[in-house]
Structure 1
Amino acid sequence: MRFPNPAPPRRALPLAFALLASAPAFADTERLESDLRALVAEQGELVIGYLSTSLLGGETRAEELRFEGPDGETLWIDRYVVKGDYERPDSVTLEGIRVEGIRLEDAPQELEASLVLGVARIVLDDPGSAVPPRDDEALAEEWLDVMTLTELSLEHPEGMLASLASLDLDGDFEDGQGGLALEALAVDLDRLITLSPEEERTRLRMASNVLTDGSGQLHLDAGFDARWEPEDEQTGRLFSDGELTLRDALVMAIDLESLLALPEGAEVASLLADGTLLEEAALGGGRFELRLAERGLFARLATLGATMEGISKAQYLEQARTQAEGFGMMFGPQVRDLLNGLVDLMAGGAEELVVTLDLPAEERLESFAEDPLALPERFAMQVETR
């Protein structure tokens, strides 16, 4: 006689344990739905296609989201993915974002009509919560510290107004470094001007022609990094460098190295994150360099200035040099050299202007505001053209 085996089949054991382990994970889908609905409560209607979670947890998804706001705007999100512990996610990813019915303050009706904003993907690293906080300050500090955005577009029925290949932001300075990078920002200034109020179009076209050499298409790339190297509990060195390139216009680059003394009890990560480090800390010396490389902008500025004054370009440049000498007599040789350097860029006599500042020691930035005209001398400013 054979007796039945009271133990569950071997194949059932892993499944049973998996179901027990995933019970909290299934609860995360309910929390995600509840938190998303609470975020937009009384602001519009949110529809969620479906929610899911990985079998053993670690990833919670909401898909096919649609939010309709009170002013007619509509937001679609294909996927909203929370990875890691729901209480403290490793990352939150939004994919397939589309916004219609955008309202721009003081924008003409022609520009607002049927604007569509699209973003392929936004990835937020260590955001602090699975859904964004309602408070704007908390949103910036807790949710947008480390973010990567790819393939942004702003479209109008008449065509694309702007696009951005990617944006990388690292505003979390707990590790002593951070930065910002913009890749391939493109703006169709011609189309924006056409959609602007008629009385503003002449002025806007003049600015567009100077910036884009008449193409009406603005293209920009930029990257900036900052790094903090502590020397003791209260002092350290701040290194920062970056470059902004405006196609067919100019390249601007900066390079900073400065010894700083922090206020008592202050944390450098907090001061860097909120942009107050240079205001709160005392300077202990250092060096700052600004480089401007001519790519056509300054030559066009000279042409525009001459046209507006009804004189030749040569006359305009000679007038600018005379003014530079006059300002130099009033404010010192450093100001004269700086203004003459800009004239050299406009005249084609130089391709690059380099301004170097030797930062003084034991100074607070507030003290410089007391006598701004003496700043070039106090900073030992040097100007070089190449």
Structure 2
Amino acid sequence: MPIGPTQLPDLQPIAGLSWGIASVGVKNPTRLRPDVAVLVAETPCVWAGAFTLSGSRAAPVRWSEARKGLPFRALVVNSGNANACTGNRGMEDVATCASRLGQAVGLEEGQAILAASTGVIGELLPMERLLPGIDAAFADRGETRWEDAARAIMTTDIFAKGASLTVDLPSGGSATFTGIAKGSGMIHPNMATMLGFIGTDADLDETTLSAMLRRSVEESFNTISVDGDTSTNDCVFAVATGRVAVEPRDKEMLEGALLEICKQLADAILRDGEGVTRIMNIQVEGARDDTHAKKVADTVATSPLVKTALFGADPNWGRIAGAIGRADPELEWERVSIYLGPYPVVVEGQRHPDYREEQGAEVFKAQEVDIAIDLGVGRGRALKRSTDLSYDYIKINADYRS
């Protein structure tokens, strides 16, 4: 069961954007549920994207990547089928879906129809059901349907994920950001999350929006891990409709709002991790540089031994020490310190004389566990948030395709 709030907050509409939803049985025609969504802009507008760095990128990822720099007109997304590892046919199917939606919106040359998919890898899209679903979704769209879209993109998710924020700008007026995401497993992204869609009414150019999204993703989605596996389909899109005029002095506040949306969505994904019962926040400091710190944090966050100890509420700090050493075989261990919550466990490479096992047990019984690591060799730092590894995670993934 998830360990976070399962109710969506109120998701504010974004002027100039509308979602449409359809149920076509992408994965199974006998089990209809919302599984197709289209996001349509009333007029062409700016967009930015962050995409998986996986070498096995899915067809919709490669399609959307190739359209960077073109004005956004619409997007089609389906759940239940990843359209990954499907060869030329997979790319042809994306093009067909984009063409179908393009006809509906009156696409002009030089404009972009984007695509995203999530679900089972290696299966062809059921085009005989998907294309009529695109038509139905387009006909059924509305500005207030962000929550419906959040549910349409779910796969193994227990709850829908969304966030919304309106900020008052220094120049006057206000701007709104609303985002939705899906993700529960295959979470160890090299860019973003499984799928994420964010809209704003702020008037931002492509260069500015892309830079804002890149930095926000790095500080949010790229800090979480459920199982150490990066998806073939990871992508996050941000679309700016330009309805609210902004000045240069507004940009810091706007980026802060975008980062907050990304952080809320990333946190929701972590709390809905497959089989999750506990979360650990791993803060690494004193590294040679930030890259060094990230490698150590990632190694601890993805260690099966650390994750199973967390599930069992076993403060086995030796597993943490082992993971740190595996991350950097040349580490100066006599400089390393480890803290579980407020308690120093290892100081300068040795067990702290005052540490007691019951102190660690107290920390590990909580739903959220803080682990601090000081490598003592520099000023690099990194945060990684991860989950435990439970019996239910195994069950979910053993039965995923059935």
Pick the structure with greater CA Rg: 1
Structure with greater strand percent: 1
* TM-score, normalization by structure 2: 0.24
Structure with bigger RCO (C-alpha 8 Å, 6+ apart): 2
Alignment TM-score, normalising by the size of structure 1: 0.25
